[in-house]
Amino acid sequence: MPPRQPPPPPGLVIVDKDRGPTSHDVVGRLRRIMGTRKVGHAGTLDPMATGVLVIGIERATKLLGHLSLDTKAYTATVRLGAATDTDDAEGTPVGAPADTSRIDDEAVRAAMAPLTGDIEQVPSAVSAVKIDGKRAYQRVRDGETVEIPARPVTVSAFDLHALRRSEDGFLDLDVVVECSSGTYVRALARDLGAALGVGGHLTALRRTRVGPFTLAHARTVEQLAESPGLSLDLAGAVATAFPRRDLGVDDAAAVRYGKSLPAAGIGGTYGVFGPDGAALALMADRGEAARPVVVLAPAG
């Protein structure tokens, strides 16, 4: 038997996902490329979407549930003049195409304004939202009629960058969206089309940022297959995503054993680093004590 390869170092791989594969498909490819089963993802992307997908490797998978990925940014194309049952180009058209000849950029921007800020949004019926413990998309596939309640989201930017008319009479809008986690850009396309009375759906979606991670960090799966490697090692990932607390030798040893420390006065979860710069744990203040949220470098 050939000698077993050592596991790769822990860290994050920021993938620039292609259109077509699911997020789970990308994880499968990365397991083969990186040579480990300990691979997970945060911030799922639909198959039709491209762009930033955060992948954890080895011990960095422990970070995924704690990463602050609460803001996201996208570029997208919205087609006005037709609605679909999935609110995107993967779905079946609903109703007849509508005339968009009367709609100009001023009308589009006016309709975008109420969809910006703190809003109540009804997620797309074909979505991963759970209804009584079952995903909405599975209920739709099972032939059920799905009604999802509106929920609060924040759309901090919904900007029109270009407007062009297609040869078949539709109106295509290139837009930029910055929003909170849980916002469906497909639903923005649907609601914009409804507000203009012509229907609308999403034809392209590219995520340019999730939390602090951008396309500047990202590589395609093909690039990773040719040259495997991390985007950020464990220390770099923690330093990028969390506030930082540096420790001396004695406190660092205590944290490795999962012990508490005096509170640091830092809000939320923060990264704790040893004298050598190694990421030891994520911690959070609880009253006068700082308690480990997850230990990344246990005593060994």
Query: What's the total number of domains in the chain?
Result: 3
Residue type for position 170: F
What confidence category does residue 67 fall into, taking pLDDT thresholds of 50, 70 and 90?
confident
**Can you give the residue range of the structural domain that contains 281?**
242-295
Q: Checking DSSP bridges between strand 151-165 and strand 171-180, what pairing results, if any?
A: antiparallel
pLDDT digits (tens, 9 = 90+) for 23-56: 999 999 999 999 999 999 998 888 899 999 999 9
User: Given 16, 46, 88, 191, which residue is catalytic?
Assistant: 46
Instruction: Give catalytic status of residue 174 as yes or no.
Output: no
Residue type for position 13: V
| 171 close to 163: Cβ distance less than 8 angstroms | yes
Query: Residue 111 in 3-state DSSP?
Result: helix
How far does CA 259 lie from the centroid of its chain? Answer: 32
Please provide the average confidence, as pLDDT, over all residues in the chain.
91
Residue 48 sits in the same domain as residue 90: no
Residue 198 sits in the same domain as residue 171: yes
| 35 close to 196: Cβ distance less than 8 angstroms | no
| Least confident window among 63-67, 80-84, 183-187, 239-243 | 63-67
Residue 89 sits in the same domain as residue 164: yes
Pick the last residue of a domain from 187, 207, 227. 207
**Element holding 298 (H helix, E strand):** none
What confidence category does residue 300 fall into, taking pLDDT thresholds of 50, 70 and 90?
low
User: Model's pTM, two decimal places?
Assistant: 0.88
From the number of C-beta atoms within 10 Å of its C-beta (0-12, 13-18, 19+), residue 29 rates as: middle
Under 8 Å CB-to-CB from 120, ≥6 apart: which residues? 150, 151, 152, 153
Phi-psi region of 72 (alpha: psi -120 to 50; beta: other; left: phi over 0): beta
Residue 228 sits in the same domain as residue 271: no
